[in-house]
Amino acid sequence: MFSDGAIVAQASAHGTARRGIIRLSGDSILNAVAPFFLRKEKSSDSFPPAIPANQNCQGRIVEDTSKTAIIDGWFAPWGTSEPDLVVPCALFYWPKGRGFTGEQAVELHLPGSPPILDAVARTICETKFARLATRGEFTLRAFLSGRIDLTQAEAVLGAIDASSDAELQTALAQLSGMLSREFSNLREKLMDVLCDLEAGFDFVEEDIEFVAKTEIKARLLEIKARVEKTLERTKTQLGADRIPIVALVGSPNVGKSSLFNKMLEFFGDGSSSKAIVSNLAGTTRDYLEKELLIDGMRFILVDSAGVENREAFKDVADSLPRERAQQGLIRLFANAEIIVKCDDPTSKSNSREELVKNIIPSNTPLICVTTKQDLSDHPESVGNENIPTSSVTGFGIEQLGKRIVETLRKYSENGEMTASTAIRCQDALREAAESLQNALNILDDDIFLDDFILASEIRVALDRIGIVTGQVHTDDLLDRIFSRFCIGK
Ligand code: GDP
């Protein structure tokens, strides 16, 4: 995976398109393209060009290889076997240290016909100056040359795989280095503490305190709080691997199923009759769910009515099905990113109000909705927090959709981390927080306070944060991350 040499691959999406891109990276790339690239000398050069495409003309491609360049010309995809068969080609050149990979890089922008792009890559490989890139090798080289860290490499994949605006924004924020800066700042702070501690090692015999222990403790406490906050973010991350759940909750007959159907009618793709009936884990009862996409935000709307109307809230004390169904409901609500709590102001008794309240987790964002607005005495009244809706007239449905999207956005913006990074980082961050806690315990222990053990705990924390960004890595880890990329990225 880490072999040297120049590499080449198609960087644009496979399939027919107006334009296709062949990307090269490495030291000998100009030699690899030179025999087949013909520079357009004047903007008026007409097709086909006058110069035959069968000689090494590297000198003519890039005059000053220390500067970036865009050169218009022609390319002979079939090389010396068909030197006169050429296609228009714009060549983009980046010197070492300027392109994405950190190496000398070239992109050939060609007509996006698959046979042409295949032929170009094959012809370039035949020169032996470049070979076909492996999966994610361009991004791997960017990482190995220090252009990006591992969280940014994962963000490249996150951007490619994004299935909604929110996921794309998260990936782009991570790619821009938001997360990298946070981790590198944490590492610097830990490094400073370590340096101060180690500077004091020379004076251990003299019993001189180089930096006050109270100061070290305050600095470690701050770092630990930040590590824990980031760890928390990894847990609440809404990412590519999980679509957020929005659950409709309320007493029986409050109008949840009607609201569910109205939402599908309003925002669905017309396949509302295909609502899936899923088995709820831990119970044999069913509930309805449907994936919706509003304003680029994807989520699963769940109608829990099916559960509660059957067994969950049945007044059969201590019966096993009821218990199991309730546990399933509790788990469903605990997993939900948003609870939409439905109340029917026209009903005198919301029979299960207390029960419903008790199983809604206190830390889950709540959207309050009143149903059956068409029957209400004050049809237009809009409470500050309450959204009045009617499944008969469609009143308030659009507003409810907007509120769901706003709440999901707010929630996912706390993340700024792609799901794959969140999953990979959790253990490392947990261990970093543990080591910092150990260090703080040592500082609190006046009798057995040992600066050497204290420093070793800080080193462990540094090492774990380094795993997140990739300063500390194994070939196996890189292999696992980059093998998920496609060739050309
Ligand atoms: P669920 O048990 O909470 O799912 O409630 P349903 O959706 O089954 O509705 C209970 C009853 O209220 C049904 O008879 C519905 O027709 C009625 N209902 C629901 N929403 C509305 C509404 O917006 N306006 C009116 N007038 N009736 C509604």
Return the sign of the alpha-carbon dihedral for residues 228, 229, 232, 238.
negative
Cα separation, 391 vs 257, whole angstroms: 9
Q: Residue 208's pLDDT is what?
A: 61
Q: Is 255 in the pocket of ligand 1 (CB under 6 A)?
A: yes
415, two tokens: 């993340």
Under 8 Å between Cβ of 336 and 304 = no
Q: What DSSP string describes 430-447? A: HHHHHHHHHHHHHHH-SS
pLDDT band at 305 (very low <50, low <70, confident <90, very high): low
Cα of 25 to ligand 1 centre, how many Å? 63
pLDDT band at 57 (very low <50, low <70, confident <90, very high): very low
End-to-end, the C-alpha distance of the chain in Å comes to 14
Q: In what order do the strands lie in the sheet with 69-75?
A: 37-39, 69-75, 87-94, 105-111, 19-25, 6-10, 130-132
Cα separation, 386 vs 350, whole angstroms: 17
What is the average pLDDT across 269-278? 49
pLDDT band at 378 (very low <50, low <70, confident <90, very high): low
Q: Is 306 in the pocket of ligand 1 (CB under 6 A)?
A: no
Q: Select the CATH number that applies to the domain covering 155-237+418-470 from these four: 3.10.180.10, 1.20.120.430, 3.40.47.10, 3.40.50.620.
A: 1.20.120.430
pLDDT band at 42 (very low <50, low <70, confident <90, very high): low
Sequence ranges of the chain with CATH classification 1.20.120.430: 155-237+418-470
Under 8 Å between Cβ of 420 and 157 = yes
Helix (H) or strand (E) holding 20: strand 19-25
pLDDT at 460 over 90: yes
Cα separation, 412 vs 299, whole angstroms: 12
> What is the CB-side half-sphere exposure of residue 486 using CA atoms within 13 A?
11
Between 307 and 457, the higher pLDDT residue: 457
Domain 6-146, CATH class in plain words: alpha beta
Sequence ranges of the chain with CATH classification 3.40.50.300: 245-412
**Three-class secondary structure of residue 320 per DSSP:** helix
Q: Which atom of ligand 1 lies at the shortest distance from residue 390's CA?
A: 23
Under 8 Å between Cβ of 156 and 124 = no
Cα of 186 to ligand 1 centre, how many Å? 54
Q: Which CATH superfamily is domain 245-412 in?
A: P-loop containing nucleotide triphosphate hydrolases (3.40.50.300)
pLDDT band at 364 (very low <50, low <70, confident <90, very high): confident
Cβ neighbour number for residue 377 with a 10 Å cutoff: 7
Torsion angle, alpha carbons of 99, 103, 104, 105, to 10: -50
The residue contributing the CA closest to ligand 1 atom 11 is 253
Q: Is 347 in the pocket of ligand 1 (CB under 6 A)?
A: no
Sequence ranges of the chain with CATH classification 3.30.1360.120: 6-146
Pocket test for ligand 1, best of 370, 371, 374, 390 (most atoms within 8 A of CB): 371
Pocket test for ligand 1, best of 254, 256, 258, 344 (most atoms within 8 A of CB): 258
Buried b (16+ CB within 10 A) or exposed e, 248-285: bbbbebbbbbbbbbbbbeebbeeebeebeeeebeebeb
Q: List residues bridging with 135 in a β-sheet.
A: 487
Cα separation, 284 vs 410, whole angstroms: 34
What is the average pLDDT across 100-123? 94
pLDDT at 207 over 70: no
Q: Is 139 in the pocket of ligand 1 (CB under 6 A)?
A: no
The residue contributing the CA closest to ligand 1 atom 6 is 255
The residue contributing the CA closest to ligand 1 atom 28 is 372
Cα separation, 190 vs 459, whole angstroms: 8
pTM, whole model, 2 decimals? 0.57
Looking at every residue in the chain, the average pLDDT score rounds to 80
